[in-house]
Chains A and B, each alone.
Chain A
């Protein structure tokens, strides 16, 4: 049950820089009356962010930019049965289950 002081300090630093962006809009927007255009923009954040997070995995990490991003084809193959399950079942649970099994199978074969 040891806690290294160095590790603890890094965890605390990371906790602070994660906490602030999480709560800042909740603190600030309570007081502000946002213009309609901003509210409209914010309404598009969910779909765009979810898309971006899915695409994020489809690109191999690049060591130093700028460089031509390389597509992770194995990841794209895994998304297909997952996407089909989501469309057919509309179930979060089943989609995650199929995703995990697909990823395990694909890694076993590739």
Chain B
């Protein structure tokens, strides 16, 4: 009986439902994508290059850094190494999420991992934190919608370029942080009050850890170290 219920829940996890669950996050992709396109334009990238960058690298923060470093004529190796470090957090997200997709084929797993973003990870872990199942089709619906929206937004930003002006002045760059805040709050309100305290303490630890680590490492490394450490503290101190 319980098995049937589980299956019934999974049946609703269609591609279409994934697309639907992506919609609330689209404004974030559009805001940051437009900004990334504008920045690409001002770094003298062609529309084609902006399109390739957004389709092949597909990671907001690193695209901004890419543009800044290309504009500054940094060495190739330095740009690639920086992008690697900035995007290394995907490893942690993939590790956390991959445990829910082990029943699917290797190819499906690669497809899901290749299009994983901070936001799609956030939306998916909202489900897992509530004990709800994930499916490959649902995840693909979520990922592909985000992917296409991202590329379109970057291209549009590239086209509009100088017409938009400074994306920071329009607050577009803050869309990503606002999204992270909303995803974090949604995770927390889903928790039973007995666990909430534990998580709030962890959030405090993580904040302090990022600050302290950032004194000694680049901010991107600090984010990774703080996450790895504080997640471990969370697991060890769990009652």
Name A10-60 residues within 8 Å CB distance of B. 10-15, 17-19, 21-27, 29-30, 34, 37, 39-57, 59
Main secondary structure of the interface of B (DSSP, over half): helix
- Cβ of B214 and Cβ of A62 under 8 Å apart? yes
Q: How far is the CB of B218 from chain A (nearest CB, A)?
A: 7
A109 to B125, CA, bound (A): 37
- Cβ of A14 and Cβ of B24 under 8 Å apart? no
Residues of B within 8 A of A48 (CB): 202, 206, 226-227, 230-231, 234
Known: A61-B219, A96-B28. A46 touches B96 (CB 8 A): yes
Q: Is B145 in the interface zone, CB < 8 Å from A?
A: no
Surface stretch bound by A, among B5-13, B113-121, B146-154: B113-121
Task: List 12 A-B pairs, Cβ < 8 Å.
Answer: A4-B46, A7-B70, A11-B57, A18-B57, A23-B94, A39-B99, A46-B187, A48-B230, A90-B189, A95-B185, A99-B171, A100-B171
- Chain A residue, CB-CB nearest to B124: A46
Of the listed residues A9, A42, A105, the one surrounded by the most CB atoms of chain B closer than 10 A to its CB is: A42
Bitwise, A89-110 to B at CB < 8 A (1) or not (0) is 0111101111111111111100
- Chain A residue, CB-CB nearest to B104: A30
A92 to B24, CA, bound (A): 6
- Cβ of B210 and Cβ of A101 under 8 Å apart? no
Residues of A within 8 A of B118 (CB): 53
Of the candidates A27, A41, A46, A90, which one forms a contact with B109 in the assembled complex, judged by CB atoms under 8 Å apart? Answer: A27
- Chain B residue, CB-CB nearest to A15: B56
5 shortest A-B CB distances, which residue pairs? A99-B178, A103-B171, A104-B171, A103-B174, A44-B234
User: How many A residues, CB 8 Å from partner?
Assistant: 80
A98 to B171, CA, bound (A): 10
Q: Is B72 in the interface zone, CB < 8 Å from A?
A: no
- Cβ of B114 and Cβ of A22 under 8 Å apart? yes
Of the candidates B83, B116, B181, B223, which one forms a contact with A17 in the assembled complex, judged by CB atoms under 8 Å apart? Answer: B83
Name B25-46 residues within 8 Å CB distance of A. 25, 27-28, 31, 45-46
Residues of A within 8 A of B185 (CB): 83, 86-87, 90, 95
A57 to B52, CA, bound (A): 27
